[in-house]
Amino acid sequence: MNDFDSTLDSTTAEWESLWLAPYAMHSVDTVGREHEESSHAYRAPYQRDRDRIVHSSAYRRLAHKTQVFTGEKGDYHRTRLTHTLEVSSVARTIGRVLRLNEDLIESLALMHDIGHPPFGHAGEEILDECCVNCGGFNHNQQAVRIVTRLEDRYPDFPGLNLSKEILVGQSSRIRGEKSSGRGQALLEVQVVDAADSIAYDTHDADDALELGLLDLDELLELPLWSDAARRVQREYSALDAEQLRRAVVRQVIDILVTDLVDTTTGQLKAANIESPSAVAGHDRRLVVPSREVFEQKTQLEKFLFQRVYRHPAVLAERSLAGDALREMFQRFSKHPEGLPAKSREQLEQTGVPRVVCDFLSGMTDRCALEEAGLRG
């Protein structure tokens, strides 16, 4: 380690000791990486993780993967990339107020969805069905597989060689597990999970309104949205329908974030949490909304499931996309010689089903539609 490296490490440790809360994950306490590397001259560990994720091919492909609404309905609704950026924004806001490690939060947020296949949750369900005899498919697990094995950008190691806190944090999301047998997840991990939920609840509703699948009046029957609308109307007296909708969406986010911060702050104080180890040893998650807001969120999510995710137009698109992905899986499984050369190199070691799954899950929606012959 050269003198500049030592200066960086001491500067990072000094800054974090002054700003970060004692229960935050300090960069200087990182467990490290699977493959040892020397420290960087002017970037702390989690900054390097963030940059590696952003420069990965899996991250770039998120721009052309849909979240909920597949098909060509215009450019307004979210892609996986815009959703990821919104989660990162919300999570960093929460993390800053709680004085957590924002570099770690941003890395976790930017990585959290890179394992998603094309066609949103429909694609995930089909690949899980197709891979039933080789471990199934889960986008959180696939994200770990991508950053530890599939990305090929460095000559010294496979994957991205991210900090172990990133890998453990992502692993805690697999199959909905909260701790992966390691106690409660770091607060930074919990914040990203909470931000993901907030983004889903608000932005899926916003997209559905824009696409005409919902009317604002329907959402205003829900307590969370009606409360937000009252707050907006107290501040603005003459908004047109579009201005009102967008103002209410912003207000819903503000309500959810403020409640989460206030409740979490109270939880941390009541439990006397003073270190990451105290977080890990706690008997439940600490980054949580209040009971009242939790019930309102649950009501909203049930509404979205029935009125949006089960909307006939959405189900029809999911069915078409699912059939296309299933057909391609069967085709490449029977004729793996049709896979790209890089994928064929993995067949003997990994097996045909998993290699086909890796190939298909990495596709963008556009690429998958073209391969399936549904777009010229």
- In terms of Cβ atoms closer than 10 Å to its own Cβ (0-12, 13-18, 19+), residue 129 is middle
Q: Which domains does the chain have, with CATH numbers?
A: 3-35+46-371 (1.10.3210.10)
Vertex 371 angle, CA 345 and 355, to 5°: 25
Task: Kindly report the pTM of this predicted structure.
Answer: 0.92
Model confidence over 284-298: pLDDT tens digits?
Answer: 999 999 999 999 999
Q: Could you give the 3-state DSSP secondary structure of residue 302?
A: helix
Q: What is the percentage of the chain residues whose pLDDT exceeds 70?
A: 93
By residue count, the chain amounts to 376
Residue 177 has pLDDT above 70, yes or no: no
Backbone dihedral angles phi then psi of residue 152, each to the nearest 5 degrees: -130, 80
Contact 182, 168 (CB under 8 A): yes
Model confidence over 107-154: pLDDT tens digits?
Answer: 999 999 999 999 988 899 999 999 999 999 999 999 999 999 999 999
Q: Which two tokens stand for residue 343?
A: 């994928």
